[in-house]
Amino acid sequence: MLSKNVIEAIEERRSVRQFKQDPIPEAVVSRIIGCGLKAPSAGNIQPWQFWVIRRPGLKEALAEAAFGQEFVSQAPVVVAVLAEPARSATRYGYRGSELYCIQDTAAAVQNIMLAGLEYGIGSCWVGAFDEKKVSKALNLSERFRPVALVPMGYPAELPARRPRSQRPMEETVITVE
């Protein structure tokens, strides 16, 4: 049985941008997406759709919409994570459509990326893209808003941990007792 300490998974996760072309088994993709479905959402509304994309031409269109980030098209699978703002608005109005559905889909993206680690799948959260071009490439109705693209596959190389400045806890954590 596969298991990984969640803290280790968080510390181990890297943004992978170079992939082997080995296909990811459908059962593994389903399990990873299933973990996305388990993300918390405001009122358990689950205002999301996950599009699992394997078609080369569509991945190329998404890479172009992502300002030429070619690794998007080179991944065996790209998961397009879409929010459905009106679904959240039914219960929460403006705040639901403008904030909660984005928070909910963001939580799902993190679940997907961490779940992928269980199977040796690398991924990268891509949020830099032209929403209109992604919507056009996917032929989305106006009720969906693309929030993230998650290219994933077996890493061609494991990136070294990038030196990352982290703000001191004293600056970012306030304890109120």
Cα gap 145→129, rounded to integer Å: 12
Average pLDDT, the chain: 94
Which is more confidently placed, 108 or 168? 108
pLDDT score, position 10: 85
Element (H, E) at 74: helix 71-74
Cα gap 164→167, rounded to integer Å: 10
Extract the tokens encoding 73.
């098209």
Q: In the chain, what are the helix, strand and coil shares in percent, each to the nearest 5?
A: 45, 15, 40
pLDDT digits (tens, 9 = 90+) for 63-75: 999 999 999 999 9
* Percent of the chain topping pLDDT 70: 98
Least confident of 1-5, 21-25, 148-152, 172-176: 1-5
- pTM for this predicted structure: 0.92
pLDDT score, position 1: 46
Q: What's the pLDDT band for 77 if we cut at 50, 70, 90?
A: very high
Extract the tokens encoding 23.
């296909």
The pLDDT of 4-26, averaged and rounded, is: 90
- In terms of CATH architecture, what is 6-155? 3-Layer(aba) Sandwich (3.40)
Distances (CA, A) of 106 to 20, 24, 25, 158, 169: 26, 23, 24, 24, 23
Amino acid at 136: K
Domain range list for the chain: 6-155
- Quote the DSSP letter at residue 15: B
- Quote the DSSP letter at residue 70: T
Cα gap 88→102, rounded to integer Å: 10
